Every structure is written in C-alpha cells, then in structure tokens.
Structure 1
Amino acid sequence: MAAKAPDYQPVKRRGHSTVRVGDYLYMWGGDQPDLPEVHDNEKKKSMCSVMEVCHLRTGRWEQKPTTGNPPLGVRGYAAAAIGREIFYFGGYCNHDVCYHNSLYSFNVDTFKWKELSPTTSHHGPMMKHHCDMIAIKVNGEDYLVVIGGYGPSSNNIPKQPGAQYSEGLIPGNQQCNEIHFYKLSTDWLH
C-alpha cells in the first residue's frame, strides 16, 4: 500500500495577516524563509505573487497564484475585508527603513491585486507598519479606518492634526495614534 502524500502546508512566517472571506482564510506575505531583503526583485515578486488559501470546512490549504502587482509592504501591514475584497495597507518592505502607506485591494474571485493609493510621504497616513485597519459602514457607505502604527520620523510629513507621535524603541522611528478614513466609493483618504 502506497503512503499518502502529506497535505500542503504554508511555510512558517511572521508579520502576516490571515483574513476570512466566506468559508475561506486568505493568508499573504509576512517574513518568510529566503524572502529577499530588497525593495523589489523577481524572487521577491514571485514569492509575494501567491496567496495561501485554507478551506475552513475541510481544513485543507492550497497555494494559488495571483495577478497584478502585490504590495511591497510585505511585513506588518494591516488587512481587512469588505465583501469579496481584501484590503491591505502599509507595511515594511523587508529592507533598510522602507515603510509604506499604500492601499491595495485583492479580489478573492479573480485573485487580482489592484493599487488604490500609492505610497507617498506627502499626504495621508504616515508610512508605517504595525497599525490596524477595520472596515465600517457609515450612512450606507463603506470605509476603511487605519489606526495607529510605527514608522520613520524623518520622512513622514505632514503630521495629522490632533494626532500624537512619540519616539519609538528604535532611534529615528516613531509611533502614532493617527486615525485615517478611506471612503471606497470615492477613493478618498483623510
């Protein structure tokens, strides 16, 4: 009798998120073995162009390819789902002090990435990781709310009025209590 092949299991990782949509868990990114410590290259893009999917009813994992360009902030990003879309904000790029404040969507039906708001140090939330994001509905409109975070103090301007910033554990970094809203129907971030 032949031995049964073991079921697929994702590689070990940290700094990732797992989001539930329907009967599935979607796990992406994180610090994984052999993840290049560079801004972007073919190996990093290849590793980040897959989604780990777990069917909750069976407990089986599978790795599925994605299309489009995935976020560069692969560690410590925030994630939340609205309907059949998972949204990813910010994150650490896995090299130097490269943090992001971009917003991406991932469609669980098409497995396609879409950049909604690019990374910039001139507007929006500070470039950061270890923040959180929730999805809310206000007067029938879908919003994403990005809260707090940790990132460099040198290139994050302007600061959000009324928010508090304090020196982080690593010199040159800061933590904050910023709260930003992203209105999905208008691609409006404030």
Structure 2
Amino acid sequence: MAAKAADYQPVKRENHSTVRVGDYLYMWGGAQPGLPEVHNNEEKKSMCSVMEVCHLRTGRWEQKPTTGNPPLGVRGYAAATIGREIFYFGGHCNHDDCYHNSLYSFNVDTFNWKELSPTTSHHGPMMKHHCGMIAIKVNGEDYLVVIGGWAPSFDNTPKQPGAQYSEAKGIASSRQRCNEIHFYKLSTGQSTYSLY
C-alpha cells in the first residue's frame, strides 16, 4: 500500500543543509542511502534533481522535481539565501578526493538550478567542503561571503594571500583547513578575497 502524501518523510541523510524561505524549509543533497560514489551519472543526477520541501504551518513534507543541472558537490556544501534564491557553494562529490568550488543558485519559484561559477583549480576559493557562507548587503549590493573550509592540500587553487592553512593530522593527513574569506558580488558575478 502506497503511503499518503501527508505521511511522506525524506530519507535519512547527513552533510546536507536545510534553509528557510518564507513558510517553507528546503532540504537538498547530503550523503544518503544509495547515492552513487561517482562524479556524475544518470542515477546520481536523478537523486540530486529533487528538493525536499516542508510547509512549516502544516509540518507536511513533499519531494519536488527540479530542472537544470544540480551541483555535483552534494555533501558538505555551504548554503545561504537571498530573497527567493538559495545559493550553494562547494561540497564533496561523494567519491574519492573530488571537491568543488562552484556556486549555484536555486530559485524556489521555478525550481530551477543555475550554475553561476564553475569549479576550477585555477583561482579561489579553494575546492572544499565544510565551509560557511552568509549573505550580506554592502552599499545596496548583494554579496555571498564564503568562509573557511576543509579540502585536499594536493589539488587546489593558489593560496589566498594572508590566509592561514593548516595540515590535518592522522588519517586525513593530506587535508588542510583554511580561514579564507571570499566575497562573491551577485550583480557582477565577480569573486574577490579579503586581505588580512
């Protein structure tokens, strides 16, 4: 017997985020049962092309399909909101040492993904996960600020002048933590870093 829509609950997961826009919570990605340990394939794209939505007034969850291509950094990414857009930065790809520094937006009215800045190892922020991201307004302009993070030390962008990087010890000895601070100006699509 199929479960009623009111009985729907998202699958268990970790290393995801849930953000609020209006009267709704939007939960996406994370490590979850059956997520393929590959860079990209149809099964992974299918699993990541849905958004879990909770209506706060009723407590009812539902799973909704999305359009466009969702981020490949599905675990440990950072998220922040501005208006009706949710922004996603970085994340781990769920296989090997594959980390991202891409920036995506998700529109809660159209349920469409849009890549704003692709992953690249040629400029910062470093390809990472477990960083923070906040939305701020400066002189009437919207910015996203990406702070800190954790990633491999052997496959990454040039170090940010003035930032600190520390090698992890033990099992994760090829990883590093950082205190990078990057500002992304939404109106121009330009990323700059903070000087210390």
The Cα shift of 1:171 comes to 1.7
Question: Which residue number corresponds to residue 25 of structure 1?
Answer: 25
Distance in 2, Cα, partners of 1:5 & 1:177: 44
Which letter does structure 2 place at the counterpart of 1:143?
Y
Q: CA contact under 8 A between 2:53 and 2:61: conserved in structure 1?
A: yes
Aligned to 2:60: 60
The aligned counterpart of 2:161 is: 161
In structure 1, the residue matched to 2:182 is: 180
The answer for the alignment partner of 2:15 in structure 1 is 15
Q: How many residues align?
A: 188
> Percent identity between the aligned chains?
85
Name the amino acid aligned to 2:119: T
What is the CA-CA distance between 1:4 and the residue it aligns to?
7.1
Listed one character per residue, the Cα deviations across residues 5-36 of structure 1 (whole Å, up to 9, x for unaligned) are: 76100000000000000000000000000000
Tell which deviates more after alignment, 43-52 or 149-158: 149-158
2:98 aligns with 98
For residues 135-154 of structure 1, the aligned pairs below 5 Å read 135-154=135-154
Instruction: Name the counterpart of 2:125.
Output: 125
Report SS of the residue matched to 2:47: helix
Asked whether the equivalents of residues 6 and 61 of structure 2 are also in contact (C-alpha less than 8 Å), the reply is no
Q: Report the residue type matching 2:82 in the other structure.
A: I
**Aligned twin of 1:37:** 37
Taking the aligned partners of 1:9 and 1:158, their CA distance within structure 2 comes to 43
Q: What's the CA shift string for 1:50-72, capped at 9, x where partnerless?
A: 00000000000000000000000
State whether residues 150 and 168 of structure 1, in contact with CA within 8 Å, keep that contact through their aligned partners in structure 2.
no
- The answer to whether the 8 Å contact 1:39/1:95 transfers is yes
Aligned to 1:149, what secondary structure does the other structure show? Answer: strand
Give the whole-Å Cα distance in 1 for the aligned partners of 2:180 and 2:5: 48
Once the two structures are TM-superposed, the CA of residue 115 in structure 1 deviates from its matched residue by 0.2
Counterpart of 2:79 in structure 1 is 79
Superposed displacement of residue 155, structure 1? 1.7
Tell me whether 81-90 or 151-160 shows the greater mean CA deviation: 151-160
Give me the whole-angstrom Cα distance separating, in 1, the residues matched to 2:45 and 2:151: 23
Segments of 5+ residues of structure 1 without an aligned counterpart are none
TM-score (structure 1 length as normaliser): 0.97
1:89 corresponds to: 89
What 5-or-longer segments of structure 2 have no aligned partner? none
Asked whether the equivalents of residues 49 and 65 of structure 1 are also in contact (C-alpha less than 8 Å), the reply is: yes
Across the aligned residues of Structure 1 and Structure 2, the Cα RMSD in angstroms comes to 1.3
Change (3 A) 1:5 1:137: closer
CA offsets, 1:73-120, max 9 Å, x none? 000000000000000000000000000000000000000000000000
Aligned equivalent of 1:189? 191
Distance 1:161 1:52, change over 3 A: same
Deviation of 1:157 after TM superposition, in Å, equals 2.5
TM-score normalised by the chain length of structure 2: 0.94
